[in-house]
Amino acid sequence: MAKVHYRVVEHDGGWAYTLQHVFSETFPSRAAALAAVKKAAAEQRVPGNTTHIEYQDAAGVWHTELALGIDRPDADVVGQ
């Protein structure tokens, strides 16, 4: 199972959450960003449908895979 670690950080004059150097929208307070990231982390754990997905890797190569709806990451918020 993949591990996903979100963080709440100061960003663009407010607060945001980040995952692997990608930022969410900016929130006016740390509390608002923390509430949003807790919701996002919880949604990561919800099973979905098994489906084929396509994605492009960093080298520009396209891949097609079967994504199992039950293969969900273990998501958390660090540094609360």
Kindly give, in sequence order, each residue whose CB lies less than 8 Å from that of residue 35, ignoring residues fewer than 6 positions away.
Answer: none
> Does the predicted model carry a pTM greater than 0.85?
no
Nearest-5° Cα angle at 28, 25 to 33: 60
- With a pLDDT cut of 90, the percent of the chain lying above it is 69
| Residues 25, 35: Cα–Cα separation, whole Å | 13
Kindly report, residue by residue over 10-46, the tens digit of the pLDDT: 999 999 999 988 999 999 999 999 999 999 999 988 8
The 3-state DSSP class for residue 24 equals coil
Let me know: does 8 contact 37? Beta carbons within 8 Å. Answer: yes
pLDDT for residue 1: 64
